[in-house]
Chain A
Amino acid sequence: MSAQIPVASPSFLKCSQCSLGKLCLPVGLDTQDMHRLEEIIESAAPYQENEAVYEADQPFKRIYAVKSGMFKTQVSDAQGNEHIVGFHLPGELFGLDAIYPQKYVSTAVALGTASVCAINYSDLEDLSTKLPSLQRQLLSLMSKEVHTSQSMNIDQTAEQKLAAFILTLSSRYKQRGYSDTRFNLLMPRRDIANHLNMAPETISRLFKRFQNEGLIAIQRNDLNILDMDRLQTLAGCSSSC
């Protein structure tokens, strides 16, 4: 089966029952501490396609954990050109880059129907001073963000960039317990192109080339990685990328 985006447990707001607990904030918390975390999580109605969670320059108040679906975060340059800085899968946090400037630096938008857990940051700050495990996980998630954004900046060819992009998604799906060789590309092609700073036509050409070379098979949005080793060699990275 191709990977569907995992959906958090229906008894939402209960980290203890959420299938994403092992990836998200509550890593390392015992049941009692987890309940304290649950108390500061706010509910939010699901977002519809293209609906914004927050917009750039709005004052910072909350960070968000993806519960289901996918979100993208984008920034505008001085000329008003938008650039997609990241795609966020279930169990991943976004809004962390607002902590330092105390305002959101990006706009977060739902790709299709998607939902979040909203966490008031000052409450989280308070709680994390009392719960060392929570503090450790928060720092670890932030460090991961920094790592991801740095690995994006390395000078790569278009082929390498797209191969690395596919592999990153693959490993993130794997962490979530889903197939790392077959999953749906939920973002439109122009968003992938924008994120990787390439023309949309280049993306379709490269996907076709990868397909002709037997690296992947792609039908509609359904991506099937046929030769993981060669894809990794192409991306110029070890299996950890």
Chain B
Amino acid sequence: MKLEIESDALQQLLAKYDVYGPRYTSYPTALQFSECFGEQDYLQSLQASNELPVPKPLSLYLHIPFCKQLCYYCGCHKLVTKKTSTADDYLDFLYQEIALRARDFGGDRLVQQIHLGGGTPTYLSNNQIRELLEVIAQNFHLGLPEQLELAIEVDPRTVDGMRMRHLVQLGFNRVSLGVQDFNPAVQGAINREQSVQQVMALTDAARESGVDSVSYDLIYGLPKQTVASFEQTLKQVLQLRPDRIALYNYAHMPQRIPSQRLILQSDLPSAADKLQIFTAAVAHLCAAGYEYIGMDHFALPDDGLVRAMEEGSLQRNFQGYSTHAECDVLGLGVSAISRIGDCYAQNILSLPVYRQALEANRLPLQKGVKLHRDDVLRADVIMTIMCSGKVRFTDFSQQHDVFFQQYFKEELVALQEFKRDGLLTLDDQSLQVTTLGRLFLRNIAMVFDAYLTQSLLQDSEQPRYSKTL
């Protein structure tokens, strides 16, 4: 992707569309999840999904909530501890949950994707990870090896080359490394110190042992980051040339995330610098041959993510962009989120309460939301915008038995402004996000969000969403 627009004009657009908004890892977003949603609602949606003529395959997400050390920026659900026995105790309950929840799925629902996330999945020992995979295999029906994606998030500080080779031997074919930033001052300010050499050794080991895809997580907007320092980080990243890059936006919300209070406001790059870091990074990555997937994701042309975008099987979920849109997602472990049939369901956030539920042999659900018809329609438009960027009106109308142009009449009027700004094309047949518009996917998707109210967006004292850019 080439951003063929003068940087002044781009800066103006970026400033214009710089508002608070959801990241659309789900629609409705997690703010709409309610504790009124219970086990019965979940089971009802699950049952209906089992009863489809061709039930969807499954994607499993397993949450390992432990970290050895606190990274100040992180807003994930995690527990910082150095006691490894805590993990053994947790795994016992996780195994119980796996057995309990697997029972509800028939033998014709093959698992096609397993994702270990956290926290830090590599907090677990090799033996613990092997055991976890065995328990999954005992309880679910796994897809054919060629169709099974096994992914793990790796904290480079917990894994060396030998361990990486071991993980690949265990079957992991996709690894994502939490790189964030290579600059020592930035690493100091976020309490996460790791060298380029460590990351290089892991990348080499993963490739040599035949992993399909290596992905790096990077973050822009971190304390002590400058346009020049991030340029340097990117140069180092590009020498290692990961297959995928996720370039996340750091959302500074110290009111909601206590550990972020350890980050000095004065260390943060200015809004203008942050924008420049991002636009420079996009330009840099695209010039280096990466395809811009959308929002914060980039991938090399031969990576599965690019193929998925071309085939329309790209999905957006709680892990960001991913392949396997055809799957229902079952989230296992504390705080994990499932998307089964027409519902979202989130597990209990507190570890002790999670254990209590399983001790009582109950599903460890905390909250969720059942999608009503309007939600289903809007979710489809929003996810299509976030993923392929093109909505064909007749296809949509046929599939949902509505008249798109009638149903979304007001939204189509609101899109005119985006059209004038060159962010999308719009005619009688379809709406399509332009290359430039891919920088503003969240803003375009927000037009179709029925839950956004002005008060929510403008409440900058206590923002509930991060900035869109």
Q: Which residues of A contact B (CB under 8 A)?
A: 1-2, 4, 182, 185, 188-190, 192, 200-201, 203-205, 207-208, 211, 218-223
Contact = CB atoms under 8 A, between A and B. Distances in A.
Contact of B53 (A2, A201, A221): A221
6 contacts: A182-B398, A189-B51, A204-B53, A204-B108, A219-B399, A223-B53
B54 A190 contact: no
Given A1-B397, A2-B398, 16 more contacts: A1-B401, A2-B399, A4-B401, A185-B53, A189-B50, A189-B51, A189-B52, A189-B53, A189-B55, A192-B53, A201-B106, A201-B108, A207-B53, A211-B54, A219-B399, A220-B52
A66 B397 CA distance: 28
Given A1-B397, A1-B398, A4-B401, A200 B52 contact: no
B107 interface: yes
A185 B55 CA distance: 13
Interface in B387-410: 397-399, 401
Contacts of B54: 204, 207-208, 211, 218
A222 B380 CA distance: 15
A221 B52 contact: yes
A218 B52 CA distance: 10
B406 to A, nearest CB: 13
A136 to B, nearest CB: 37
A200 B54 CA distance: 10
Contacts of A218: 53-54
Contacts of A208: 54
A219 B399 CA distance: 8
Contacts, number: 41
A200 B106 contact: yes
B32 to A, nearest CB: 22
B396 to A, nearest CB: 12
A205 B108 contact: yes
Contacts of A2: 398-399, 401
A191 to B, nearest CB: 8
Nearest to B403: A1
Interface of B: 48, 50-55, 106-108, 397-399, 401
B233 to A, nearest CB: 43
Contacts of A223: 53
A223 to B, nearest CB: 7
B339 to A, nearest CB: 14
A203 B401 contact: no
A208 B107 CA distance: 15
Contacts of B107: 201
Nearest to A192: B53
Contact of B108 (A200, A219, A222): A200
A205 B55 CA distance: 10
Q: Which 9 residue pairs spanning A and B have beta carbons closest together?
A: A188-B51, A201-B108, A207-B53, A204-B108, A207-B54, A189-B51, A204-B54, A208-B54, A218-B53
A78 to B, nearest CB: 27
Contacts of B399: 2, 219, 222
A54 to B, nearest CB: 25
Contacts of B51: 188-190
Contacts of B52: 189, 220-221
A161 B367 CA distance: 43
Contacts of A222: 399
A122 B162 CA distance: 85
A220 B53 CA distance: 7
B147 to A, nearest CB: 13
Nearest to A191: B51
Most buried by A among B50, B108, B398: B108
A175 to B, nearest CB: 20
Contacts of B53: 185, 189, 192, 203-204, 207, 218, 221, 223
A204 B401 CA distance: 24
Nearest to B109: A204
A76 to B, nearest CB: 21
B52, B55, B107, most chain A CB atoms within 10 A = B52
Contacts of B401: 1-2, 4
A2 B397 CA distance: 9
A63 B352 CA distance: 58
A189 B397 CA distance: 25
A204 B106 CA distance: 11
A114 B397 CA distance: 24
A204 B50 CA distance: 10
A61 to B, nearest CB: 33
Contacts of A190: 51
A132 B48 CA distance: 46
A182 B53 CA distance: 14
Contacts of B48: 188
Contacts of B398: 1-2, 182
Contacts of A205: 108
A178 to B, nearest CB: 12
A225 B206 CA distance: 46
A87 to B, nearest CB: 14
Nearest to B49: A220
Nearest to A182: B398
Could you say which of B54, B107, B108, B397 has the most chain A C-beta atoms within 10 Å of its C-beta? Answer: B54
A239 B187 CA distance: 72
A63 B11 CA distance: 72
Contacts of A200: 106, 108
A69 to B, nearest CB: 15
A185 to B, nearest CB: 6
A192 B55 CA distance: 14
A13 B460 CA distance: 58
B291 to A, nearest CB: 27
B242 to A, nearest CB: 34
A220 B54 CA distance: 7
Nearest to A190: B51
A21 B54 CA distance: 35
Contacts of B55: 189, 204
